[in-house]
Amino acid sequence: MKIFLALLLCLGSAAAQAGPPELEKDLQEIARVATVMVDGDVCERIMTERALKKMFTVDPKDPWAGSDNFDVNIEPYIQTKKTLIRLSRLVAYPVDCNLWMPFRENPRKIQVLIRNRYEMSQYWTFGQLHADMFPEMKEVLDTGKRIAVQKKGDILSVLTPVYNSLGDIVGLVEVVSRARFNAQENVK
């Protein structure tokens, strides 16, 4: 009897860890829809010129001033955030859709411009306004190809391009979820 209970517990634990059976397929489909639905022209208007100018400027009297000057144009920000939230609701389990935008003035850098509910990402570090361009993101921005990435444990991301009305790739969406999800993980 004890062996049976132990086996049952192990099987139950393995089933719980397997996560949604169609995780990559679902994320690929959300990513495909994101490429169609996220408006690159709107995304390009999210950051204010003021914030973009101060992003890489270091004030010798206040080296952290750039981090304090992050601001957005509210209408394009809200419109895009709502679209990303709607995309994340296409499945019945936790998914985040994060908008990443490169800097025209500094193409070796990229920023997560919009994060969402669960704060899942394989790339974003808390408090970081921008990062060096990640190779997978550069490939998406250069080729327009969707890429599935699993670098951190049970986290799976699909990176998908965002196009403007001229057909130029101006950013990307990271569609991300986990095989096992702990809703309290980021609650401290």
2 confidence band (pLDDT: 50, 70, 90):
very low
Looking at residue 147, which CATH number applies to its domain?
3.30.450
Considering the domain boundaries, does residue 14 fall inside one? no
What is the arithmetic mean of pLDDT over 100-129?
91
Question: Which residues touch 3 (CB under 8 Å, ≥6 apart)?
Answer: none
What is the arithmetic mean of pLDDT over 97-118?
94
Considering the domain boundaries, does residue 28 fall inside one? yes
Q: What digits encode the pLDDT tens for the residues 53-75?
A: 888 777 888 877 666 667 899 99
Distances in Å between the Cα of 27 and the Cα atoms of 66, 99, 126, 150 are 34, 15, 23, 12
pLDDT of residue 87: 98
Per DSSP, the residues of 166-179 read: TS-EEEEEEEEEES
Question: Which residue, chain included where needed, has tokens 């296409």?
Answer: 90
Higher pLDDT, 37 or 117: 37
Q: Which of 15-19, 20-24, 142-146, 152-156 has the lowest mean pLDDT?
A: 15-19
Considering the domain boundaries, does residue 62 fall inside one? yes
Contact assessment for residue 180 and residue 118, using Cβ atoms and an 8 Å cutoff: no
The token pair at 64 is: 């952290």
Considering the domain boundaries, does residue 32 fall inside one? yes
The token pair at 38 is: 């996220």
Q: What digits encode the pLDDT tens for the residues 152-176?
A: 889 999 999 999 999 999 999 999 9
What is the arithmetic mean of pLDDT over 3-7?
37
Which residues span the domain enclosing 151? Answer: 21-178
Considering the domain boundaries, does residue 164 fall inside one? yes
Residue 14 has pLDDT above 60, yes or no: no
Q: Indicate the number of domains in the chain.
A: 1
What is the arithmetic mean of pLDDT over 5-29?
57
